[in-house]
Structure 1
Amino acid sequence: MARHFWKVGTNSGNNGCHPVHPARRRHVRRSGGSRHRPCRACSTGPRRRRVRRHRPARAARELRPEGARARVPSHLISFDEFDGMFTALRHSAWRLESRRRYAWDEQQGTYRQFLADGRVDWDLNDPWCQERREQTALGKRFERVRVVDEPLTEGQRYLLDNARRNAAVGEVIRVLARSKADELGLPCEDFWLFDARVVALLRFDGATRCPASTSSPTLWRCFGTREAAWHHSVPYDELGG
């Protein structure tokens, strides 16, 4: 049986992956006709029927050419499956980041260094940086838009410094003023969009959970968000310029 995880804490600088603990046994929601209310973390579409056993999440397999299957609605995925999506993707990964702070960031030594010195000496040879550099060398794109406040919060200033690290390993980071995001009616949420085929929704409700979705309504909503956010954002190093 597949194991599902709750991610404890939140971050933004890397993939959005956090330390994990096994979740209490939960039912995976799949499309059907029952009348029970879906759990909030899994809800992106019609009501779901309850099944008795966990099913393996298919998100990472959806990203492989040989893994094409019938698309499934939102369901929780494991930490390993989520992390594997960043190497299984064929073309691109795009993220929207809308939170004012990420709790896991604040527990890092780099955060304390930033508060003390105003900048961080980033290790560009750590495992995450090496993997991202390898993936971008294969021609894959990794892009983010970070919604920021005016003035910036402490956590957003930290991530602005962190953007130097992301850019150094091949990511493209842009920022969008929250006032403009509100004007555009963009959702206040975090998600990754992989190859314009799979959405990983990062839900923060005490414990971070990651439903993956291939449902058309969710994909189209995220497409619209991506187009508007990218068009109206600016490169991170032009903020305030």
Structure 2
Amino acid sequence: MQSWLDMLREATAKGRRFARVRVVTLPLTDYSRFGVWCAQFTNGAGEDIRYLTRDKAEAAGLPDHDYWLFDSRKLVRMHFDDNDAFLGGEIIEDAAEIVKHNYWRDAAWHHAVRRDDFAAEQHLGRL
């Protein structure tokens, strides 16, 4: 993890931005609690991870699939099996799909809360 933190510090010092919204189900699974714990370090290194509960994501009309946007123009949709095992990522090049996912990213950001606020709401503290 230290090499990731070092990379984040170096990249953000050069002006790069790393941000994500994690959509989580309540109550949190052990894995999600671990993610909240890790986020205190990555946020400290320059990444901005925020949290959105699944019910709020659904109410906002956000999709139920996971994806990554790189520089707002490269889209990778993640695929999982019925047991949530990762099957791989699919590169999407369709401009309309990329625009739609940018909109969803921005909407998720609008509704999400900062890691420390989310941890406090969930009574997690600094873990």
Report the TM-score when normalising by structure 1: 0.46
CA radius of gyration, larger in: 1
- Unmatched runs of 5 consecutive residues or more in structure 2: 123-127
Aligned CA distance change for structure 1 residues 207 and 174 (closer, same or farther; 3 Å):
closer
Partner-residue secondary structure (3-state), 1:147: strand
How does 1:102-181 map onto structure 2 within 5 Å? Answer: 126-181=2-57
RMSD: 1.6
Q: Which amino acid aligns with 2:101?
A: C
- Taking the aligned partners of 1:234 and 1:129, their CA distance within structure 2 comes to 22
Report the TM-score when normalising by structure 2: 0.83
Answer yes or no: is 1:223 the counterpart of 2:99: no
How does 1:76-115 map onto structure 2 within 5 Å? Answer: none
Q: Which amino acid aligns with 1:166?
A: T
- Taking the aligned partners of 1:135 and 1:215, their CA distance within structure 2 comes to 29
Structure 1 residue runs of 4 or more that deviate by more than 6 Å after TM superposition: none
Give the equivalent residue in structure 2 for 1:54: none
Answer yes or no: is 1:238 the counterpart of 2:109: no
Q: Which has the higher helix share?
A: 2
Partner-residue secondary structure (3-state), 1:210: strand
Give the equivalent residue in structure 1 for 2:125: none
Partner-residue secondary structure (3-state), 2:18: strand
> Percent identity of the aligned residues?
38
User: Contact 2:78–2:86 at 8 Å: present in 1 too?
Assistant: no
Give the CA deviation at 1:213: 2.0
Task: Spell out, residue by residue over 1:110-131, the C-alpha distance to the aligned partner (whole angstroms, 9 max, x if none).
Answer: xxxxxxxxxxxxx6xx222222
Answer yes or no: is 1:183 the counterpart of 2:59: yes
Aligned CA distance change for structure 1 residues 233 and 211 (closer, same or farther; 3 Å):
same
